[in-house]
Amino acid sequence: MQPSVLALLNQPSLDREPHVPGAAPFTLVDAREPHLSVLDLGVTRGDGIFESLSVSEGVVHGVDEHLTRLAASAARLDLPAPHLAIWRAAILKVAGLASDGQSAVKAVLTRGVEGDGRPTGWVIGTAAPDHGAARDGLRVVTLDRGYRHDVAETSPWLLVGAKTLSYAAHAAILREAARRGADDAILVSSDGYVLEGTTSSVILRHGSVFVTPESGNLAGTTQARVFEWARSQGFDTNAELVTVPQLDAADAVWLVSSVRLAAPVRELDGRATAVDADLTAGLNAYLLT
């Protein structure tokens, strides 16, 4: 997976001057060259936010929703409000230059070099990895996330629900899942509620109802589109607290995200779960439009 295009933003936030007055809003550069200072708080503290967007044949999915969430994450981290018109232009430019077929665009905003008071922003395009196997079915284990389900409300400084660059624990959770012979993990709160995947939202089907756990999770842009589709197919949809026994008793479970789309769970904590291949195919066809 070679990176194709990188756009460095000259003015990533609304209330800051451009880094270079009079310069273009962004500059296209070779992604393989170094462009980041080791003093950037994005790396020294994981202090920044990101969005991953899916691109099909040059068309970006859900730009508005991702920009809205980028701005919401910025607000939670007290980052300067992103200049969304410039981010949109950079995302569309990078997506348009991306390879044919499926690709992905990632937008990143960091607090910038410590002491400079100016954020750093970039948009990068990559060929999307082949998620075909995931869409056939994932083996998933449940793992403790350590937090109570309501911690986003009681302790907003923990940044639950913001899409930050501080994902070392998520990476460690994926390694633990692999050690247990699984492809991914579903995170569970310390008080026993289902939260989300490592980089995805959880969706369950109980009979004629699609359910997503309501627990201060990151607002899922793909989850919202899945619910649109489910309602168009005559299902009811609901966001509610979900316990692990309720997860075990579901008729179907998916992990959904922008680039991997809807991946059905075929094994949960070592027990086989039913996969509805037709429903999954219909869902993914909708998500690709």
Task: Summarize as ranges the residues that interact with its own copies (CB under 8 A).
Answer: 1, 3, 6, 31-48, 50, 77-78, 106, 108, 110-111, 115, 122, 124, 143-148, 151, 154-160, 162, 164-173, 175-176, 190
Task: Order across the sheet with 48-56: list the strands.
Answer: 26-29, 3-9, 120-127, 102-110, 48-56, 59-60
**What is the 8-class DSSP label of residue 49?**
E
Contact 94, 105 (CB under 8 A): yes
When the beta carbons of 175 and 231 are compared against its own copies, the nearer one is 175
User: Smaller CB distance to its own copies: residue 107 or 287?
Assistant: 107
- Write down the least CB distance from residue 262 to its own copies, Å: 23
Question: Is 4 or 238 the residue whose CB approaches its own copies more closely?
Answer: 4
Residue 253 pairs in a beta bridge with 204
Residue 73 vs 212, nearer CB to its own copies:
73
Closest approach, Cβ 78 to its own copies, in A, equals: 6
Q: Do strands 261-268 and 138-144 pair parallel, antiparallel, or not at all (unpaired)? A: parallel
The DSSP line for 232-263 is HTT-EEEEE--BHHHHHT-SEEEEEETTTEEE
Min. distance of Cβ 156 from its own copies in angstroms? 8
In the 8-state DSSP scheme, what is residue 41? H
Report how far residue 70's alpha carbon sits from residue 53's, in angstroms, rounded to the nearest whole number. 11
Question: Least separation, in Å, of the C-beta of 77 and its own copies?
Answer: 7
Residues 6+ apart with CB under 8 A from 6: 28, 29, 30, 31, 35, 94, 122, 123, 124, 125
- Total length of the chain: 289
Nearer to its own copies, 16 or 35 (CB): 35
- Residue 22 CB, nearest approach to its own copies (Å): 22
Q: How far is the CB of 52 from its own copies (least distance, A)?
A: 10
- Of 157 and 232, the one with the shorter C-beta distance to its own copies is 157
Three-class DSSP labels, 153-213: HHCHHHCCCCCECCCHHHHHHHHHHHHCCCCEEEEECCCCEEEEECCCEEEEEECCEEEEE
Our CB check for its own copies shows the closer of 110 and 212 to be 110
- Residue 274 CB, shortest distance to its own copies, in Å, is 28
Q: How far is the CB of 20 from its own copies (least distance, A)?
A: 15
Pairing type for strands 209-213 and 236-240 reads parallel
Stated as kind and residue range, the H or E segment containing 50 is strand 48-56
- Residues 199 and 257: their CA atoms lie apart, in Å, by 7
Residue closer to its own copies (CB basis): 120 or 222:
120
